[in-house]
Amino acid sequence: MTISRSAALALIKSVHTAAWFAIESCMVYVLVCGLAKRTDRTVAVAGGVVAGETLIFAANGFRCPLTTVAERFGAEHGGVTDIYLPRWFARALPVIHLPLIVAAVALHAHHLVRERQSSADAGAALH
């Protein structure tokens, strides 16, 4: 059984949109936990998802590999036209995403440094 190019493109767009939603959900989770001063394994897993997506995006010349696949099935060439989001929003995603990553890293780094300092201070008080 073969599917039409338009059905294949719709499937690719749906998968890409679902992947985007999952990755951005992880990004929001990492940020919220950073603001709540909570760093644990679940935050590390969510951060790993975001980091993995970022590395894949960067390694592919700052272009999502699914965009190339979608273009093979008829998506418009250029821009982010292979995702079910408003075009203006989809085009702004890298500009929006980078400051969120920087903020999340800064929040968690600050929290971990303070946590280690507190542990060191508590250990010094015992001696």
> What total number of domains does the chain contain?
1
Which 3 state secondary structure label does DSSP give 116? helix
Q: 111 phi and psi, to 5 degrees?
A: -65, -45
Contacts 24+ apart (CB under 8 A), 42-47: 43/108, 47/104, 47/108
Q: What does pLDDT average to in each consecutive run of 10 residues of the chain (127 residues)?
A: 82 88 95 92 96 93 85 71 76 87 93 83 63
Question: How high is the pLDDT of residue 54?
Answer: 92
**Which residue bears the tokens 């679902």?**
18
* Amino acid symbol at 89: F
Q: 94 phi and psi, to 5 degrees?
A: -60, -40
> Burial, 100: exposed, middle or buried (Cβ in 10 Å; 0-12, 13-18, 19+)?
middle
> In the numeric block, which tokens belong to residue 86?
């408003």
DSSP string, 3-18: --HHHHHHHHHHHHHH
For the entire predicted model, the pTM comes to 0.79
Question: How high is the pLDDT of residue 2?
Answer: 78
What's CA 21's distance to the chain center, in Å? 9
- Domain span including residue 80: 5-126
* Amino acid symbol at 41: R
Question: How high is the pLDDT of residue 97?
Answer: 87
